Amino acid sequence: MPLAVARAAFSYPDWIFELKWDGFRSLAYIDAGRCRLVSRNGNDFKSFPTLSESLVSALTSRSAVLDGEIVCLDRRGKPQFVDLLCRRGEPRFVAFDLLRIDGEDLRFVPLLERKAKLRALVSNKNDHLLYCDHVETHGEKLFALACKKDLEGIVAKRKYDPYIVGEAQWVKIRNTGYSQWDGREKLFEREREIDPDIYLWDACVMASEEAIRSRRGYSPSSLA
């Protein structure tokens, strides 16, 4: 599900609002004791083997497809993007949607029902799989809190929508004062005005993965 952009936060009864996590967007395909972490462009994240193993053991179901974000958190629970990019911290998967569970397709189920199933699926005892909670109606209050805590922003979603592109829309509202954006355009060698969630972002993520694997002596065949 892609993210549209809103210039300002809003509040509305038919919408829910979540924090926007600063990391790598990923689908987690869990089946037959294995987990594939797949980027928005369909590329496999292969440098998170420990995280993949942890996601398998974290679920009580045999198979599932989760939508979420791979992040590194500091001691305060705040995402640190550079730690994730350079693999300096423990990666975690913050799940905010559930698309399939034990063969049942949930994409046509309303969002709040999908999130309720996801919440029941995620164990509080696992540190690698986290549930992304939400607030209803009060997007402006959550956005103000995100800005106060120096977080990336929030995401707004209609509470009864399916997970079908064209029939649903998710909207991001970015904190323009977010400190971790400083210098990031230089890190990815892009112009300041280019939106990193749209242009070249996935290619940059995969390039960083290749560099890290090469530095550690990994080969693609050993991680397949």
Note down the domain range covering 112.
3-214
220 lies in a domain? no
> Which class for 164: exposed (0-12), middle (13-18), buried (19 or more C-beta within 10 A)?
exposed
222 lies in a domain? no
In the prediction, which pLDDT does 3 show?
Answer: 92
Listed in sequence order, the residues at least 6 apart from 96 whose beta carbon sits closer than 8 Å to its beta carbon are 18, 67, 68, 69, 115, 118, 132, 155
Show which residues are catalytic. Answer: 20
159 lies in a domain? yes
167 lies in a domain? yes
82 lies in a domain? yes
65 lies in a domain? yes
The pLDDT averaged over each successive group of 10 residues in the chain (224 residues) is: 94 97 96 93 92 90 94 95 91 97 96 96 84 97 98 97 93 95 65 42 52 45 30
Q: Which of 174, 143, 107 is nearest to 12 (CA)?
A: 143
* Residue 93: strand pairing partners: 70, 129
Q: Which of 181, 128, 207 is nearest to 20 (CA)?
A: 181
Strands 12-19 and 64-72, bridge-based pairing: unpaired
- Count of structural domains, the chain: 1
- Side-chain half-sphere CA neighbours of 2 within 13 A: 9
In the prediction, which pLDDT does 198 show?
Answer: 41
In the prediction, which pLDDT does 200 show?
Answer: 42
CATH number at residue 165: 3.30.470.30
Listed in sequence order, the residues at least 6 apart from 137 whose beta carbon sits closer than 8 Å to its beta carbon are 11, 12, 13, 15
> Distance of CA 210 to CAs 86, 187, 206, 218, 219, Å?
12, 16, 6, 9, 9
In the prediction, which pLDDT does 207 show?
Answer: 53
172 lies in a domain? yes
Q: Is the distance from CB of 175 to CB of 152 less than 8 angstroms?
A: yes
224 lies in a domain? no
The three-point CA angle 107-108-109 to 5° equals 95
